[in-house]
Structure 1
C-alpha cells in the first residue's frame, strides 16, 4: 500500500537493476510501489569537538601514514568474529606487512550477529585482550588497534586510507563507495553475502578471501593475499580506479540535475501537487 520506496543507491552504482525495475515487462506487471533511488545517503561523523581521546590518537596516527597505504578493518557494530576468525584475521594482517587500522570487537563463538542488539553493553571488557598474544607488539610499527568503535566515515575520508576490509553491510558499502575506497569483502551473515558478491562481481570494487575446502574460515595466508592484492597489487589498482569512478558518479547523482537529485525533486513536486489539490477541494 506504500506510494513509493526510497533506496539508498544511485544510477551510477546500480543502473541495470534500477532500469529493470522500471522498464522490464514482467516487473511492470507486479503491483509494487515506485522505486526512487536517492543515494548515496551518508551520515557524516560528528565534529572534532566531540572526538574521544582514541579518535584524536587514531587521526594523529593516520596523518603520519603515506597516502592510500592503510587498510581500515571494521566489521560493523552488529557483527562479530569467532575466536578462530579473529586469530586468522590478526595473523593475516601481520603477514601482509601492510599498514592497518583495526576497529576490533570482542569475539564470540555464538551467532555472527550476536552483538547486533547488544552494541555498547560490553564497553568495559577491553576487546584487545582477545587478540593473539604478541600480535600488537609485532605490528606496532605498521598497525593500530582501536577498541570497539571509531569514526568510520571520517576515517574513510582520510587520504592515507587505501582499502576497507568490511563486512559489506549496505551502509558501510555506500560509505566506502561514496569516498572512493576499494574494499576487501568479508561478509558475516544474511544480505552481506549478496552485497559482497555484487561489489566484487558486478560493480568491480572489491575482492574477497576464499575459504579452503574443509575449513570454516579464511586462513591467515588468504587474508594476507587479499590485503596485499588490494593495497599494493595490480588488481588493487584496478579496484581503486573503479572505486573512484563510482565516487564521481555519486557526486554527480546528488548535484543539481543529477539522477538522485532529480528523483527526489520529482517526489517533492508530486507531493506539492497533491497538497494543492487537497487545498482546492
Structure 2
C-alpha cells in the first residue's frame, strides 16, 4: 500500500520594524524550518536600511521565504512626537491590507500566523483564513507578565499607585517592577491604552511564544502558567522558545577590525555599543570617552552623532558611508587611545565581534537581542539602558542573573560620569572577585541556553508542540 505523504505545516510570521523585532522573528523562522520541518513565510514591515540589508541575506533553504510588505506613510496619522509604541501600532495596522492580499494570493495557505507584539491586529486575517494564532514576545517573560498584569488592573491603578505614588508594581508570582525601572508607556496616561491593548489581545490566542528559556526565567514562566495567575486572564499555552539570536557566520568582520582584535589578548577587550538605534547626548558621549580612556582597558566603540533623543536613529540607522572619524569626541582622544582602542563610526557586525575570543565585556543598552548575544558568547555586561523595556532588562541582568553591573546616574545632571564609567569597565575587565563571579555565571547561562535549544531541551520541545498543533490543524 502506498504511503500518503504528510504535508508540512506552513507558518506565516509577521515582524514589526526595527532589528529588535526583525532578528528574533527571522531566527524563529529559520529554526522552524531547519529543526521542525515547517514551511515558513516571513512578512516584514521594513522601514530602515539595516532591516533591508538583513532581508537581503541568504536564507537557509527554499522552505523559508521572506516578503517585504510595501512601505506605508503614517505621517498624517500619528503625531511625530508620539511614543515609539504608538507609531509602531499605527504602522502595523496600515500594513494589514498588503498582508491580507499577499496571504490571499498564496497557493499554499499558511496553517498558522505568528505575530510579534505590535502585529495583533492581523489576527482578523488569521480568523478569516482559518489559521492558528500565536504571539511572539521577542523580549522577556517578565515583560510579558507585566504587560498582562497591567492590562488586567487598568490604567487608573497604574497611574495612581505606580506612577504618581511611585510604588512598585506587584505582579503575582513574579519580580515586582520598581518605578525607576518602569516602562515608558506607563508614564503618559494618554498613551497607556496601547500597552493595555497589547496585553488584552495576547490572551485571545492559541499560544504565546517568548524569546527566553525555562531555566533563565523559571519563576516567571511558572507564574504565567499558574492556574491562579491574574485570575486566569492568561488561558493560553506559554512557549519559551529562545534564545533566538543571529547565527549567520557568513558575515565577516571588516579587515581592520579583525586584524586589531586578533592582536589583543583573550577576553581583554570591552565592546561598546548602544544597539541599532540608540544615541547619547553630546555631554554623555564626552564622559563615556573620558571614562574609557581613564580605565586603560582595551575597547571597541561604535559611536554615533550625539542626540538628545535616545531613539535618535531608530528608523534610520544603517551602515556608515563615510571614512571620517567623529569630530565630537574630546580633543586628542584618538591620539591618547590609539594603543588601546578602536572607534567604529555608526555600525559594526555585533554578533561577530562578541564571538571573537579577544572580547571579554560588553557595555550595552540592554536590548534583549544584544543581551542574548552577550549570554550566548559568555560575555558579562555593563547594563546601560536607554528606552522601552531596557531598564527592566538591566534589573534582570544585575539582580536576577548576576552577569552585569549597572551605572549610577549623577544626582546633578542625570548623566553617568567618567569616574563611574572607568570603575565599571575595570570591574568586569580586570581579574577581580566581582568580575570573576559575573564571568563564571554568564558562562553557566551560556551552557543552559545551548541545552534548552538542543534536541529534547525545553525550547526545542516548545516548538515541537507548536509543530504538532499545526499538523493537527492541517490534517483536520
Matches within 5 A, 1:122-271: 123-124=321-322, 126=324, 128-232=326-430, 233-271=432-470
* 2:217 counterpart SS class: helix
Pick from 211, 217, 225 the counterpart of residue 8 of structure 1. 211
Between the aligned partners of 2:236 and 2:245, the Cα distance in structure 1 is 24
- Residue equivalent to 1:29: 232
Tell me the TM-score normalised to structure 2 length: 0.55
- Judge conservation of contact 1:45–1:151 (CA < 8 Å) in 2: no
Aligned length: 272
- Residues 160-193 of structure 1, C-alpha deviations (whole Å, 9 max, x = no match): 1111000000110111111111000111112111
Superposed displacement of residue 212, structure 1: 2.6
With normalisation by structure 1, the TM-score equals 0.92
Deviates more, 1:239-248 or 1:31-40: 31-40
Q: Which runs of 5+ in 2 are unaligned?
A: 1-203
**8 A contact 1:4–1:33 mirrored in 2:** yes
The whole-number CA distance in structure 1 between the counterparts of 2:242 and 2:319 is: 32
Quick check: 2:320–2:347 contact (8 Å CA) kept in 1? no
Change (3 A) 1:125 1:141: closer
Structure 1 match to 2:198: none
Gaps of 5+ in 1: none
**Equivalents in 2 of 1:155, 1:81: separation in Å?**
22
Structure (1 or 2) with the greater helix fraction = 1
Q: Deviations over 1:187-208 (max 9, x none)?
A: 1112111111111111111101
The structure, 1 or 2, with the larger RCO (C-alpha pairs under 8 Å, 6+ apart) is 1
Shift of 1:127: 6.0
- The root-mean-square deviation of aligned C-alpha atoms, in Å, is 1.7
Residue in structure 2 matched with residue 80 of structure 1 by the alignment: 279
Cα distance in 1 for residues equivalent to 2:248 and 2:343:
20
Return the alpha-carbon distance in structure 1 between the equivalents of residues 371 and 214 of structure 2. Answer: 16
Q: 1:32 to 1:145 in 2, by over 3 A?
A: farther
